[in-house]
Amino acid sequence: MNKIKLVAAMAESANLTKAEAGAALDAFLDHVTAVLQNGEEVRLVGFGTFLTAHREAGVARNPRTGEEIKTKASLTPKFKPAAAFRAAVNDG
């Protein structure tokens, strides 16, 4: 499912226009991004937790040439699903 189909499904199930559902989805994504940029997490009970993990700087290799490349330390966004969400996906 892509964003267009998700917005259409949200609009139908919540009795919203597609524009309203699209704005709601965009606002959600913007706020989750902003919270993660501040080093905090977003915990949605029964769904899961959006969080960040610190990745250390290191050395990687270009698979084509074998050349070593230095990588910078960074934050990586992660999602940890809640047990109820995981169970619903496996039962469905």
**Tens digits of per-residue pLDDT, 27-84?**
999 999 999 999 999 999 999 999 999 999 999 999 999 999 999 999 999 999 999 9
83-91 mean pLDDT: 95
pTM of the model: 0.79
The structural domains of the chain, with segments of one domain joined by +, span 3-91
Tokens representing 42? 């977003």
The fold of the 3-91 domain, in CATH, is HU Protein; Chain A (4.10.520)
Task: Say if residue 92's pLDDT is above 90.
Answer: no
Separation in Å, CA 4 to CA 28, 30, 71, 86: 15, 17, 35, 24
Separation in Å, CA 55 to CA 27, 51, 68, 72: 27, 13, 18, 8
Task: Say if residue 20's pLDDT is above 90.
Answer: yes
First-to-last alpha carbon distance for the chain, in angstroms, is: 17
